[in-house]
Amino acid sequence: MRHTLPIAPQFYVTAPQPCPYLDGRMERKLFTALQGEYAEKLNDTLSKQGFRRSQNVLYRPSCSDCSACMSARIRVADFEPSRSQKKTAKKNEALRREATSPWATEDQYALFRAYLDSRHADGGMADMDIFEFAAMIEETPIRSRVIEYATTDEDGAKALAAVSLTDVLDDGLSMVYSFYDPDLAPSSLGTYVILDHIQIARDAGLPYVYLGYWVPGSSKMGYKAKFSSLEIYHRGEWRDIGDPDQYSSDTHPLSTDPIAEQVARINLPDTRPTKR
């Protein structure tokens, strides 16, 4: 019997830069490359430990004096939509969903630009050109899908309303990035896309929908706490969010452990032994 060694990626830390969620703070990320034949297994394993994918990189916040960012996921089997969410689903039932391979189009980029210019004009992605957008969509070493939501007029012409770049994990769907037509904001398309992903996961027998990070004190992230059966990755384990107001975004010099200790506690996947 031949045994292979555990996957042993190298981890790095980014230089501090302005936090996109909480004003006046600096963020720092712990990250590793996502590549090679075990990319999917590494992505599956680290996603369960609060990591997120961006192209061919896996990252997790590791700020020096702040631990506000927490990975969030919805437990599909226990999810019950609120009255408001039921209305949102009803309001958007005319949208048509189409899942495609991760391939960028000009229509997607036009929608992406309109979304950024309306919602995140001063954000870190505001200057992305079409080539950088294509890289965000297409540079994925794992199983990913672009899920489009569109309206159709009487002549059959399609108009994009929302798009989600979604990874398929072994235990769920990970919504890497989504955007929508800002002119349709009253339709709550961001909420609708999440609701539809819950349905996709349920139909596929996948237990979770990963939403990215929830940040107490950030108005941009507050909507995630409105979904029932929400879990957060807090202090090394997944737990029900409970009362969102119980979490603090206060800074403290002992909020996070040293990088070496964080890395030492990361569980890495083993490759399966091969019999001969």
In a domain, 1, yes or no: no
pLDDT(170) > 90: yes
Instruction: For residue 207, give the CATH number of its domain.
Output: 3.40.630.30
Q: What is the mean pLDDT of residues 78-97?
A: 96
Give me the DSSP letters along 149-188. EEEE-TT--EEEEEEEEEEEETTEEEEEEEEE-GGGGGG-
Of 3, 49, 52, the closest CA to residue 31 belongs to: 52
Read off the pTM.
Answer: 0.92
- In the prediction, which pLDDT does 6 show? 58
Q: Cα(44)–Cα(35) distance, rounded to whole angstroms?
A: 13
Residue 3 has pLDDT above 50, yes or no: no
Q: Which of 71-85, 123-137, 217-231 has the lowest mean pLDDT?
A: 123-137
Same domain, 84 and 204: yes
pLDDT average, residue stretch 251-267: 87
Are the CB atoms for 132 and 76 separated by under 8 Å? no
Q: How far apart are CA 149 and CA 185, in angstroms?
A: 14
Q: With respect to residue 139, please indicate whether it lies within any of the assigned structural domains.
A: yes
Mean pLDDT of the chain: 91
Residues 102 and 202 in one domain: yes
CA dist., res. 130 & res. 143, Å (int): 22
Nearest alpha-carbon partner for 246 in 268, 214, 212: 214
**How far apart, in whole angstroms, are the C-alpha atoms of residue 40 and residue 211?**
18
- Predicted local distance difference test score (pLDDT) of residue 13: 95
Q: Is 135 found in the same domain as 16?
A: no
Cβ proximity of 70 and 240 under 8 Å: no
* 248: pLDDT strictly greater than 90: no
Q: Is residue 219 part of a domain?
A: yes
What distance in Å separates the CA atoms of residue 98 and residue 9, rounded to the nearest whole number?
Answer: 35
Same domain for 120 and 153: yes
Using a CB cutoff of 8 Å and minimum separation of 24, what contacts does 156-161 make? 158/96, 160/107, 160/108, 160/111, 161/95, 161/187, 161/189
* Pair 95, 225 in one domain: yes
Identify the pLDDT of residue 61: 94
Q: Are residues 101 and 90 in the same domain?
A: yes
Q: Are residues 232 and 146 in the same domain?
A: yes
pLDDT at 2: 43
| 95 and 39 fall within a common domain | no
Is the predicted pLDDT of residue 4 greater than 50, yes or no?
Answer: no
For residues 150 and 158, the answer to whether their CB atoms sit within 8 Å is yes
CB distance 68 to 217 below 8 Å: yes
In a domain, 76, yes or no: yes
**What would the pLDDT profile of 30-68 be if each residue is shown by its tens digit?**
999 999 899 999 999 999 999 999 999 999 999 988 999
Residue 12 has pLDDT above 70, yes or no: yes
Both tokens of 149, joined, read 């939501």
H-type alpha helices, 49-129:
83-91, 106-119
Counting the structural domains of the chain, the total is 2
> Based on the domain organization, do 195 and 84 belong to the same domain?
yes
Count helices and strands (H / E) in the chain: 6, 14
> What is the predicted pLDDT for the residue at 124?
65
Residue 226 falls inside a structural domain: yes
Residue 269 within any structural domain of the chain:
no
Residue 274 lies in a domain: no
Please report whether residue 275 resides in a domain: no
Q: Is 131 left (phi over 0), alpha (psi -120 to 50) or beta?
A: alpha
Do β-strands 26-27 and 96-100 pair in parallel, antiparallel, or remain unpaired? unpaired
Domain of 188, in residue numbers: 72-241
- Mark whether 102 and 215 lie in a shared domain: yes
| Residues 85 and 215 placed together within one structural domain of the fold | yes
Q: Predicted confidence band at 273 (pLDDT cuts at 50, 70, 90)?
A: low
Query: Same structural domain for residues 124 and 230?
Result: yes
pLDDT exceeds cutoff 90 at 118: no
Secondary structure of residue 30 in the 3-state scheme: strand
Identify the helix (H) or strand (E) that includes residue 240. Answer: strand 237-240
